[in-house]
Structure 1
Amino acid sequence: MASVLTTERPATRTSSPAEHAPAPPRTSARTRARLWRIAKPVLPILALLGLWEIAPRAGLVDEVFLPPFSTVVDALVTLAGNGQLWSNASASLTRALVGFAIAVVVAIPLGIALAWYRPVSDFLNPILELFRNTAALALLPVFVLILGIGEQSKIALVIYACTFPILLNTISGVRTVDPLLIKSAASLGLSPLRLFQKVVLPAAAPTIFTGVRMAAAASILVLIAAEMTGAKAGLGYLITASQLNFQIPNMYAGIVTIAVLGTALNFVLVAVERRLSRWRSTEQG
């Protein structure tokens, strides 16, 4: 008697349309962290500006001497509209950037020479120590007497103020490079030039850039102080002239412009530093 074998097929499960629907988009933890990283430095600034706006209107400070932030913004818009803000800001930026660039070109090679070659350090170190402890603004009358009250004296003052932060940080960065790295590179037969290019400069770059950022801030601060004493254009001149004419909102507009320019310059330098030091994050990762 033949037996009939029957095979049972598993029942196919029909899925509902809701199961095939795409999952609702979610903000990942990385995105939230990135947004918080952007918002975190902005929140204190907004709080400060809000306090600046409220304090004069609430009578906490005299509105004549500290006008509300909105009044300062109106003055800033007016100065930008009539061209005074751009002309003075461009004059200050030109002086600061020219002096800063010359200081970078001079101070970094000099710092490398002082850090790497002991005879150069022994010969120049006493002179550098003497001038390093002399404030830049103390030499402003000397620069004016020698170079006049024109652009040369102000640019020379910026060069002087910017040189020492870059110089000292370059010396520190080169001298603190791990000797094992230098010995390992030298054992591979690298020439002195390639040794500097591939080992010493990349390792010293973060310290050097710290000095560069300090010098960038010093270039603006020293220049503004110099423009307050003898200049016919520049943000320092704008602030002093506004104070003498009792145009207080214009004075604060000049101060806000200096803060914005300094922050923008520091942002650019930080971006350049991260790009040149990208190998460090890759190595750590």
Structure 2
Amino acid sequence: MTSSKQDIISTEQAIRSDVLQSAVHKARSYDWTWLYNGFRRSIAIILFFILWELLPRLGVVDEAFLPPFSKVLAAGYHLIVNGQFFVHLQASLLRSLSGFIIALATAIPLGFAIGWYRGFSDYLNPLLELLRNTSALAVLPVFMLFLGIGESSKIALIIFACVWPILLNTISAVRNVDPLLIKSARTLGLSDAKLFRKVILPAAVPTIFVGIRLAGTSCILVLVAAEMIGAKAGLGYLIIYSQYNFQIPEMFVGIISITAFGFAFNYLLLAVEKHFTAWNRTAG
């Protein structure tokens, strides 16, 4: 009986030893290049945050105006724990995504119509040239007069800022489609609907996404300005409210959050662009 137990124990030990050796072998043979490359690309950011932590503590800059990064993280943790951070984040996400999606739904069809129908373009071009050079922040008081200081004026401002990059790039994309492609498609007898779907749209997608990513940047910039006036929640509101009350760590939490939001939004748009332009990379 004792011999049987010893055999079982020795067998279990042998299995554990084999598993451990296998794990060690896999760890040694695993390609860690991606980790090294990620660290190498991030080293400037890491050094930036290290300097942010050290300079106030060494007295190089006034800690009252630039608190150490650890204090900013502590303030962010406090905002997350008490739930205030998510209230501000939700408000900003709702405003920015609502304005951005409405701008997409408006600007892309209009851009295709203006780019494809020359007669339509001739009537609208003078108005477009006038409005495209108008700063979004300059018309903020106009939106506030007509729509009030509530959500409508903020979303309208984001729409106004996002429409122009998308619209202008869509027009340019349609007009710059290779004429030989269009002639070849017409020679093959494609109808206007199929010509648009199989030739115009695929050729225009890369340039349209340039405008979409520019609109994403404009969306974040205008969002901050809109939330600094007449808002009760939002990351922009968090920044200006904290600054007024000299809660500097909370102010930097808002700034970092806006930056992270813009960074994540840009990479999301890049991922969507890669999905819709996979044919282009395959062809290349």
Residue identity opposite 1:56 in structure 2:
P
Q: Distance in 1 between matches of 2:254 and 2:69?
A: 13
Segments of 5+ residues of structure 2 without an aligned counterpart are 1-24
Deviations for 1:49-89, whole angstroms, at most 9, x for unmatched residues? 12211221222211110111111111111011111110011
TM-score by length of structure 2 reads 0.87
Partner of 2:4 in structure 1?
A: none
2:161 aligned with 1:161, yes or no?
A: yes
Partner of 2:84 in structure 1?
A: 84
| TM-fit CA distance, 1:27 | 5.9
Partner of 2:8 in structure 1?
A: none
TM-score by length of structure 1 reads 0.87
Give the SS at the match of 1:94.
helix
What percent of counterpart residues are identical?
Answer: 58
- 1:250-269 superposed matches below 5 A: 250-269=250-269
- 1:93-108 superposed matches below 5 A: 93-108=93-108
| TM-fit CA distance, 1:223 | 1.4
Partner of 2:235 in structure 1?
A: 235
Q: Distance in 2 between matches of 1:103 and 1:36?
A: 40
Partner of 1:178 in structure 2?
A: 178
Q: Distance in 1 between matches of 2:201 and 2:223?
A: 30
Residue identity opposite 1:221 in structure 2:
L
Q: Distance in 2 between matches of 1:52 and 1:184?
A: 59
| TM-fit CA distance, 1:232 | 1.0
Give the SS at the match of 1:229.
coil
Partner of 1:273 in structure 2?
A: 273
- 1:71-220 superposed matches below 5 A: 71-220=71-220
1:173–1:267 CA distance, 2 compared to 1 (3 A): same
State the structure with more CA Rg.
1
Give the SS at the match of 2:62.
coil
Q: Distance in 2 between matches of 1:37 and 1:256?
A: 24
Q: Distance in 1 between matches of 2:164 and 2:107?
A: 7
Deviations for 1:162-198, whole angstroms, at most 9, x for unmatched residues? 0001011111111121111121122111111111111
Residue identity opposite 2:148 in structure 1:
G
Residue identity opposite 1:226 in structure 2:
A
Q: Distance in 2 between matches of 1:202 and 1:41?
A: 33
Q: Distance in 2 between matches of 1:79 and 1:275?
A: 36
Segments of 5+ residues of structure 1 without an aligned counterpart are 1-22
| TM-fit CA distance, 1:43 | 2.3
Q: Distance in 2 between matches of 1:270 and 1:42?
A: 19
How many residues are paired up? 260
Give the SS at the match of 1:63.
coil
Partner of 2:14 in structure 1?
A: none
Deviations for 1:222-244, whole angstroms, at most 9, x for unmatched residues? 01101112211111111111011
